[in-house]
Amino acid sequence: MSFEAPHGVIAPILTPFNDDLSIATDLYVGLAQQLFEQGCAGLAPFGTTGEALSVGIDERIAAIRALIDGGVDPAKMIPGTGLSNIADTTRLSRACLDLGCSAVMTLPPFYFKGVSEEGLYRYFAGLIKAIGPDARIFLYHIPPVAVVGIPPSLAARLHTEFPEQVVGIKDSSGDWDNTRELFDIGGLIVYPGSELPLIDALQLGGPGCISATANINMVEISKVVGLFDAGDIEAARAQQDRIRDTRLTIQEYGPIPAQKRLLAMRTGDARWANVRPPLGPLSESRGQELAEALNTGQ
């Protein structure tokens, strides 16, 4: 079975927590349903935005199951499953694929720093062998957080060696030169991890983007894709300029706590503001400031 890339905006959905910091399944399913109603092409649960590395393996599996029970089509989900070792990453990836998820997104092993490209290659080769021939993997390149990255030469080697299994890459480097280089790898699906270069990515034949801000700005970001698809590049560019400020303002306030506070304000459900340590929540007063900054900016 070949992999079909969702076309449009994929949301790395936030993970809501109850006051005891267990996953708030009701809010999670509710946001997922809303994002699809707003036109999202797919979900990437448990990315960095979803506080993935603050959530245990079994917790993640239960949460993905809850989304499916809540009506989300698993074929439209690419959950993050990357841990720092093959055994645990395999267990989590296998569970997601067995639940019907179309692919999984995996970080490089991110504990040891300064490792060789050969070592990273052998890690992914071992992971693919352990998951099995039906592995469908998006590489997750996010050096600002993981420190360990996936250089284009490694992505190319992995895709060439495992064309059926290494289907794509999410590039959250924030470095367009890096993203552009990835588009030269024939057959590799490339999503930038931000809406800022969305049109550039679409023009290079990319299917869309995976953007944190999609959690609170899905409709507006999707419009860029709609206008682009309709051939109105000028209007698409104008729309992209409009959503740019929202992205930059959110980033300035710390994307995860900021978006969660905004959702708490919008929905009236204070649980949305909860984050797991080591992150801390955005205070109500800073949330007010943020809301005003967003209103002024748009």
Give catalytic residues, as residue numbers: 48, 111, 140, 170
Token pair listed for 107: 């970080």
CB 99 within 8 A of CB 136: no
CB 210 within 8 A of CB 170: yes
Shortest distance in whole angstroms from residue 50 CB to its own copies: 12
Interface with its own copies (CB under 8 A): 21, 48, 53-59, 83-88, 91, 108-113, 115-116, 118-123, 126, 144-148, 276-280
Phi, psi dihedral angles at 130 (to 5 degrees) = -70, -40
CB 259 within 8 A of CB 12: no
Helix or strand holding residue 189 (H, E): strand 189-192
Instruction: DSSP letter for 190, please.
Output: E
Shortest distance in whole angstroms from residue 11 CB to its own copies: 20
Give the residue with the Cβ less far from its own copies, 38 or 54. Answer: 54
Shortest distance in whole angstroms from residue 283 CB to its own copies: 13
Enumerate the β-bridge partners of residue 140.
170
How far is residue 228's CA from residue 7's CA, in Å, rounded to a whole number? 12
Give the residue with the Cβ less far from its own copies, 121 or 162. Answer: 121
How far is residue 298's CA from residue 287's CA, in Å, rounded to a whole number? 17
Give the residue with the Cβ less far from its own copies, 56 or 186. Answer: 56
Give the residue with the Cβ less far from its own copies, 2 or 116. Answer: 116
